[in-house]
Amino acid sequence: MTRGRSASVSRHLGCREESAGRSRVQPTEPCRSVDRVANSAVARSRQAAVVYNPTKVDLAKLESAAMDAAAKAGWATPLWFPTSADDAGQNATRIALEQRVDLVIAVGGDGTVRAVTEVLRSADVPLAIVPAGTANLFARNLGLPIGDLAASARIAFSKVERAIDVGVVTIVRNSAEPDEEHAFVVMAGLGIDARMVKNTSKSMKRAVGWLAYVGGITRSLPQMRALRLRYRLDDAPEQSLSAHSLIVGNCGGLTGGFLLMPDAHPDDGILDIAALRPRGPFGWLNVWNRVAWQNRVVAKNGIGRRIIELGPDMPDVTYLTGRTLHVRFERPEYFQLDGDVFGEAISIFAWVDPGALRVKMPDES
């Protein structure tokens, strides 16, 4: 579908450079107003915006793949919006939408995808993903290709879309600070999960990828303690809980094929919650057995699930599901969203926005 543009457009926030056949918008640099009046009789080609993390990509290869895929699909040359230390992608996406683009391509890790999603969930514009991060959990959970730039670019301009849920969380820090609302597409977590993310070296992530989280876990062990909290799921009464980690998931899969929440689906309109509650000297071994063996292997078929159901209860991992979750902490706790730490919170309210995001998927025909 194409659409004409008849209005005069003034751009004050972004500056477009024309170079080597590409258009790049630099959202962080002001430039003079440029008025353009398009002929309303001429329908414009569809256009994509590429919001990319410049520290994660080979820009020359990315530009070549994206422009080639756009041309083959009959789309106009993409616009380019880099993220920065001050903008994880939200502002770049807002400026892209001001250009009336038909598609936003997020290039980076889960943090970049999360930032772009935070803006797109309120816009009727689809998202395409070119995974270029450490874990790329959202892409992995959706079954998108990892490390294949050409395939990712082709999928971006495919006609197949999937409606995906978006997790939303309101973070309360203290009475003196305003509440913050953020989106997540994979998981939100607190406890040892958030401390692991906080204690993982960014330089090690660039050097060895997801294995850097092993170091983060090691540095978190001396700080490990049980969280004491109270939670309310949907309209149920408030309950108390003690756990070393509480994870709220839109997706259930982890790096390495491990499955933390086997029943989590990104399009079921439900949040899946896992409370890790290791007890006794073999508690963490039981947690590992559940995630690495039972969830990953045994529960993959009906017989395996039946064996787990008939087996002894494993209180070291507790699973819950709901559409909303209120959590109050005994004291401020670190909190992470899709692999980025968001400081400390004293309470959170998480909820699911069903089907709020349209994601480009492979054309299987």
In contact, 261 and 249? CB cutoff 8 Å: yes
Nearest to 351 by CA among 169, 180, 182: 169
pLDDT of amino acid 106: 98
Half-sphere exposure in the Cβ direction for 347 (13 Å, CA): 14
Q: Match domain 166-355 to its CATH number in 3.40.50.10440, 2.60.200.40, 3.30.450.370, 3.40.1280.10.
A: 2.60.200.40
Within 8 A by CB and 6+ apart from 207, the residues are none
Listing DSSP states for 153-178 in one string gives HHHHT-S-EEEEEEEEEEEE--TTS-
In contact, 273 and 260? CB cutoff 8 Å: no
Residues 342, 39: Cα–Cα separation, whole Å: 46
Question: In the chain, where are the structural domains located?
Answer: 3-158, 166-355
**SS3 for 91?**
helix
What's the maximum distance between 2 C-alpha atoms anywhere in the chain?
74
pLDDT of amino acid 37: 33
To which CATH superfamily is domain 3-158 assigned? Probable inorganic polyphosphate/atp-NAD kinase; domain 1 (3.40.50.10330)
Which structure tokens are listed for 108?
A: 């980076």
Residues of the chain scoring pLDDT < 50: 1-22, 26-42, 201, 204-205, 207-216, 220, 222, 298-299, 303-304, 307-308, 310, 312
**Rg of the chain's alpha carbons, rounded to an integer?**
22
- H or E element at residue 63: helix 59-73
pLDDT of amino acid 13: 36
Predicted model pTM: 0.80
Residues 363, 365: Cα–Cα separation, whole Å: 6
Give the distance from CA 338 to its chain's centroid.
Answer: 5
Listing DSSP states for 195-231 in one string gives HHHHTS-HHHHHHHGGGHHHHHHHHHGGG---EEEEE
pLDDT of amino acid 364: 77
Residues 63, 67: Cα–Cα separation, whole Å: 6
pLDDT of amino acid 277: 79
